[in-house]
Structure 1
């Protein structure tokens, strides 16, 4: 069975603060986080989120509650750093305080003699750091008990008119996460009067660059890793299918230039508290029982270790239905190819690498393993052999009940843990768009239809993104929300937060981006059947317009259609103006261009309906003809050559916009 993590019970207590008036109610928490327990862990009691005027924090903390009025940020603030605080955490807190109005932020080490002269001090460090425990102990809001790794708490105390805000992490990761949450609690000259006790629901939360097609560039990977760290994702897996040195030429070392890039990625990941995991895929050509190939595999891992990489996975995916022996030594050792013999060979090789490489090197975590049968829940001879033969420490990746799962249920995760008999990680093929049914699509719906109890049976989740790196951030942001706190996750709320994040909280830009995201909401399954609907918001509005027309309210229908047309027409320019990531604007250009054409087609449709309502048949016909021509032009816009696999015509609210324009001309 899966080895579940035991967590000590904890419960935060309240604290009354002296401060100023509460924040306004824009972007606030207004939902509860329920209790959770597991069969072999003490019950964890979580207070509900209280005070719907608190700022919205992403990912949603396990416990956030108002414990007093907000605090005014004075001009002078002392920032005291304890053990476990890195430069990135300090920079985040300093920037947040300055945005809130502090003009003099003085940084100094926390010591027993620390006596800040200013009216406010922010103390940051690990809970076990010298002098931090004393400060936490004096705080009525201190949480007794033990938080899991990466956990943190934010509490505030007041003594003799001097205010201290304590940001305490279980470890260095927790310290950074406390700083990230603090930045979201600090705005408009105030710090929200809240207590936060938080930790992730799953140990591994990440993104796997595991798609086919043009791999991300080095610059895109650097940007992605920084983004992952900023939303509390802690893992990036390097597994681009079209990197020849990862798969087809796996025996070969990378050329010097690429080695330097990988080393930079590993350092960059460590700086952002992200685990850089290299996935090596030797399954297509390796001879498992050949000493030369085993030495080549060890040598490749060593060359990557020398670059600073400390986490590895061995992948045997996409060699269906079974591998072919590439040498007589495998037939001699394992006999004819079968599910059992293939699994035995893969387990032998993985176990040998675990014992002879991972166990012999410092700072490494156990290997991860991508099986050949990576989807479904059947207890096959292949899986039975792996369950018995694979080293217990090795974690196994699983894609769900299908290659592109339409949902993940609690029963499925429980079954996966039983079938594999190891710690199981979910390799979720969303929002990847490298398969035929996703041709011409950006998959920009929120992460959804995954059980809130996934962490009870699986050890983590990684999203496989799109060829378009920056556009993938919408799903990655919402996936980070989910992975941190599945029980509190609300897909639509998180989706709106992702849009606000991408536009630096510009209200018009956020609205425009959500309008565009809605046109890219449809997500196909592996067989093509949608598991997320096409343009649900737009469809609801167009359906309402049709109902108005059919019930005789034709003027109202045309007026509503004009308003919807304006929203679609204005969205591309607003997105280009407000989205802070230039990569997003560049990657989505064909879809934004097509949306402009669709909006013009919809405008002519509105003209046609208005003429029809007035009995102007000839004018109506001309308008509908112009709309049809623009619709054909919009549908012919192509994806960027070489940037998307598979290349094709872009799709914008297909089945909604095109259907409405056609139906308006024929039947309305």
Structure 2
């Protein structure tokens, strides 16, 4: 969505409570997870639980230690039942093979596991084999799981270990397998039982920013990443795809169709709903049979590639003095907010009822309105609220194009003004506007109330031009949208560093330094809602206090230690991050970070010399500091990689301010 100066733009599952009771009888269940009036929002450990529970992202709703850890043996018997697709089977197989199993013997439902040290059962909760296996593990789920929910239990037995992955549906089974992948490390599986399910029905990404779109390879990688993070939605809406907007009536050329087909297949394998967006609003004649047929035909060709989810976008189609065709003038009269809403409702209803309803497997279309933000009433919104098919989903960016915060009440008001739950198009961490010039947005997803998951149809984030560099923010958003009550932004961001580092702690620490100096978010109006470099600022504040009140040598030594971490972080990241695309995305920022770290180290050397009475040496080191800062400030973003070009920003307003004040009066 374009950020314009003219901003007239203005269900979570309600199933019964569920309880997991592992290794206890009915009378003991009262001391476990209490049944609330809706699915339990339990993620944090209680005081009575052991401290050795594994870290899993997204954080599960309920996890209990139920058994000692089980070593992964040479041979694993894998038995799959109903609702298990090939992607899930392959994921479980690869998990055990990478964890040390030499043989993973596959079998269908009912096969004898034989003499094996570990049996793994995968299926859906309506499969008799799965229910019997849960019963054998002494695990009870007292109410139906929500959509995409799952139970995972690990039990040590006299005749070997038992692992059961039970999904409410095919996606639930797949998400159980993704959790197993995180558990099975170090040659063993923790003995835990988990009940888990998402808060938001739709969780994912909209590729809707301006500037360079992602490449085909980047999109393949992103779709695999979404599956690993239990995100189920990808909305394809790249602004520089000419067949998305300017040439929307034209079919894709054969080579582009083949790429789309492969992307749709990659999405399906990773249990991601590939949503194809088309934006006809700048030239469509709403009343034209020819244009309606062109829209249907364009959507049909994509449906033939496997797409089952569609979006029709009218965002950033600026108000015109009149209709674009005589048919609309005759049908709707004078162009106004109300008649524009009527025309769009008519078009969307026709596409839904006369086209999508005739196709197998499609879901209701989504639409992006002209007034896509705010919660104020308008004739346009009233027309859509009253005339748009209630099944059609409306997308909303929040109380502004990029709001500093979204409260539960904001979401509730949006639901009221549109007459339905809206799908949040969140423009964080997009960096395609002037307030983000020269920056990566590596702060965690934040300032969205946990209660918004009850009032919204879901969340899709509009990421950065840099695909892999968007992963930290998307990682944390996946954590929030799955389990908002258990979400801790800083913990989730630390886990994102571990993820990108492949578990190497030195690399993760280096990434945390980078995340801090690129910790930033601003609203469209310029309000900073994620302050720059909070950790560096904390350390500089400590330095200032010690410098004024206590041992200056100690203060300098502590700050010099952090300056070294900043200087060394780029080399560690280049060497240790497992995602080479991430490193490529952030190269200019790594170059700048190293030099800024050296500048801070020179400031420490200068202050040290001053404390020792060597003012001549101090001035030389201050000059060195200034030269390094000037050198760092000359590093710019790469042409063509970011929409807004400019000097690279590293902890701006924090580090540069400190270096200016360091020489003193």
Is this a same-fold pair by TM over 0.5? yes
Q: Which residue of 2 aligns with 1:21?
A: none
Mark the runs of 5 or more structure 2 residues left unpaired by the alignment. Answer: 1-10, 25-31
Decide whether the 8 Å contact of 1:7 with 1:146 is kept in 2: yes
Shift of 1:33: 9.6
Shift of 1:105: 2.3
Question: For 1:111-139, what per-residue CA distance to the aligned partner results, in whole angstroms no more than 9, with x for missing partners?
Answer: 1x524211220111112235223323443
Q: How many pairs are equivalent? A: 646
Q: Which residue of 2 aligns with 1:389?
A: 387
1:221 matches 2:232: no
SS at match of 1:413: helix
Q: Which residue of 2 aligns with 1:488?
A: 486
Q: Which residue of 2 aligns with 1:479?
A: 477
Decide whether the 8 Å contact of 1:395 with 1:423 is kept in 2: yes
- From 142, 145, 164, the equivalent of 2:162 is 164
The answer to which structure, 1 or 2, has the higher relative contact order (CA under 8 A, 6+ apart) is 2
Closer, same or farther: CA 486–666 of 1 in aligned 2, 3 Å: same
Decide whether the 8 Å contact of 2:284 with 2:324 is kept in 1: yes
Q: 1: distance between equivalents of 2:397 and 2:266?
A: 28
Q: Which residue of 2 aligns with 1:529?
A: 527
1:9 matches 2:7: no
Shift of 1:171: 1.2
Shift of 1:568: 0.3
SS at match of 1:106: strand
Closer, same or farther: CA 633–46 of 1 in aligned 2, 3 Å: closer
Q: 2: distance between equivalents of 1:560 and 1:47?
A: 36
Q: 2: distance between equivalents of 1:364 and 1:154?
A: 31
Q: Which residue of 2 aligns with 1:308?
A: 306
Q: Which residue of 2 aligns with 1:662?
A: 660
Question: For 1:551-607, what per-residue CA distance to the aligned partner results, in whole angstroms no more than 9, with x for missing partners?
Answer: 242111211121011100000000001111111111101111111111121121112
Decide whether the 8 Å contact of 1:34 with 1:46 is kept in 2: no
Length-normalised TM-score, structure 1: 0.93
Q: Which residue of 2 aligns with 1:210?
A: 208
Higher mean alpha-carbon deviation, 207-216 vs 596-605, is at: 596-605
1:353 matches 2:361: no
* 1:412-491 correspondence to structure 2 within 5 Å: 412-491=410-489
Higher mean alpha-carbon deviation, 628-637 vs 80-89, is at: 80-89
Q: Which residue of 1 aligns with 2:8?
A: none
1:327 matches 2:325: yes
- From 399, 402, 425, the equivalent of 1:401 is 399
Q: 1: distance between equivalents of 2:92 and 2:180?
A: 7
1:612 matches 2:620: no
Q: 2: distance between equivalents of 1:323 and 1:207?
A: 34
1:519 matches 2:517: yes
Alpha-carbon RMSD across the aligned residues, in angstroms, is: 1.9
Decide whether the 8 Å contact of 1:284 with 1:323 is kept in 2: no
Question: For 1:142-176, what per-residue CA distance to the aligned partner results, in whole angstroms no more than 9, with x for missing partners?
Answer: 31321111111012456653432111111111111
Closer, same or farther: CA 159–529 of 1 in aligned 2, 3 Å: closer
Q: 2: distance between equivalents of 1:477 and 1:562?
A: 32
Shift of 1:47: 8.0
Q: 2: distance between equivalents of 1:102 and 1:262?
A: 36
Shift of 1:6: 2.8
Decide whether the 8 Å contact of 2:67 with 2:154 is kept in 1: no
Shift of 1:288: 0.7
Q: 2: distance between equivalents of 1:656 and 1:47?
A: 35
Closer, same or farther: CA 88–528 of 1 in aligned 2, 3 Å: same
Question: For 1:86-130, what per-residue CA distance to the aligned partner results, in whole angstroms no more than 9, with x for missing partners?
Answer: 23322332333334443332222121x524211220111112235
Q: 1: distance between equivalents of 2:513 and 2:463?
A: 21
Mark the runs of 5 or more structure 1 residues left unpaired by the alignment. Answer: 17-31
SS at match of 1:193: strand
Decide whether the 8 Å contact of 1:283 with 1:315 is kept in 2: yes
Decide whether the 8 Å contact of 2:510 with 2:573 is kept in 1: yes
Length-normalised TM-score, structure 2: 0.94
* 1:264-279 correspondence to structure 2 within 5 Å: 264-279=262-277
Q: Which residue of 1 aligns with 2:256?
A: 258
Higher mean alpha-carbon deviation, 627-636 vs 471-480, is at: 627-636
* 1:486-565 correspondence to structure 2 within 5 Å: 486-565=484-563
SS at match of 1:135: helix
Shift of 1:318: 0.9
Question: For 1:52-73, what per-residue CA distance to the aligned partner results, in whole angstroms no more than 9, with x for missing partners?
Answer: 2111010011111112322233
Q: Which residue of 2 aligns with 1:633?
A: 631
Q: Which residue of 1 aligns with 2:7?
A: none
Q: 1: distance between equivalents of 2:181 and 2:305?
A: 33
